[in-house]
Amino acid sequence: MLKRFRFVDALRGLAILGVIISHIPTWKMPFFLRGWEVQGARGVQLFFIVSAFTLFYSLEERSRKERRPILNFFVRRFFRIAPLFWTFIPLWLAIDGFSPRHDAPNGIGLFDVVLIFFFLHGWWPNSINGMSGGDWTIAVEMSFYCLLPFLHRYIRKQNQALWFCLVSLPLTHLLSLWVRKMLIVHYFPPEHYDLAGRFVYFWLPAQIPVFGLGIVLYFILRNKLKSSHIPTTKDEIQLSRWLLAVSLYIFAACPFGKYWYLPEHFVYGIGFVLLAWSLALNPITLLVNKFSCYLGKISYSCYLVHFLFLRLVSYYEERMGMNPLTEVHPRRHFLIKLPIVLFLTIAASALTYYAIEAPGIKLGKFIIDRWERRAPKVPEYAQGGI
């Protein structure tokens, strides 16, 4: 059984909280919250970094113990992601049908639904975000899983992980620019050119450098993970404070400036790495607590569920004839809507976690345990390692 790190759950909790905040209108917000209506969505990049970090750690540890670590990896991820995601596909079709929507102005067809079902929608502009408005992250995550065993095999040191980030950043940027140009020329009509830009931000190549930052984080903390993430020296506590201060500066400054032509979501990723490093050394209670850890535990359910309650609350406002721009002060509207959506999301996500996610995880574990008992023993030299 792998160790479960509280700071990792807390980071997931902070990530989903940022995503939910970013999806609630924040007109005329105070200065210290300005920009969160967009930048809170960078919680998705925090999810990606935590995912790469934990999966590298998991695959490394299990490669030493399991006989079929790569096959087991895919089984675990499939039963972790697919059951809940597949549950929401018919639900969203029942709500919106095949009608036009923001990222699919011509509607979605049977081909798009098939791509979504098989997690391939991240490679097709009309379906990448055509279901709930946030399913692009699931497509990117599942596509990254296909790359992870290859990356784990060839990235064995911290400097290799750094080079992977540095090389992938310009290459994927150039690839995205070329694909955007091709989509504008051959796919999207002029009135939908903005969709080409969104597609090349959503798709996997644009997010690969962010996943790379998660791999860098793994190698930074690898030795610490083998012992304990609780600090044992004053130097570690002091370092954690500096890391936290720099990460907070990045988060505060990013919405108001440019950073040497680096993609903004990548700069946020650097801030998230520093934040994770800080909390691994010194898990301060303000950020690593029972609430943030529990929110992180059910964060996958929260991510899919919160779109439903955002829609439900907006529908209720329309039925009541409310216009939050005129009848409710924008700041009060935000402060009222956020706790309602958050409470409903957490309550429903607790149910979906224990009813769908946990049984899926348990089923995957059951299958792996049976395979492991039957599989021939793998020689130590073939198991990998550092």
> Does residue 338 form part of some domain?
yes
Low-confidence ranges of the chain (pLDDT < 70): 1, 25-38, 228-232, 255-260, 321-333, 375-386
pLDDT recorded at residue 189: 85
d(CA 24, CA 362): 34
> Does residue 314 form part of some domain?
yes
pLDDT recorded at residue 382: 43
Domain that holds residue 266: 6-382
> Does residue 1 form part of some domain?
no
Q: How many domains does the chain have?
A: 1
Record the pTM: 0.92
* H or E element in which residue 218 lies: helix 204-227
> Does residue 300 form part of some domain?
yes
pLDDT recorded at residue 226: 76
Coarse DSSP helix, strand, coil percentages of the chain, rounded to the nearest 5 percent? 75, 0, 25
pLDDT recorded at residue 338: 86
pLDDT recorded at residue 323: 56
> Does residue 162 form part of some domain?
yes
> Does residue 291 form part of some domain?
yes
d(CA 26, CA 330): 7
Cβ atoms of 22 and 54 within 8 Å: the answer is no
> Does residue 183 form part of some domain?
yes
> Does residue 20 form part of some domain?
yes
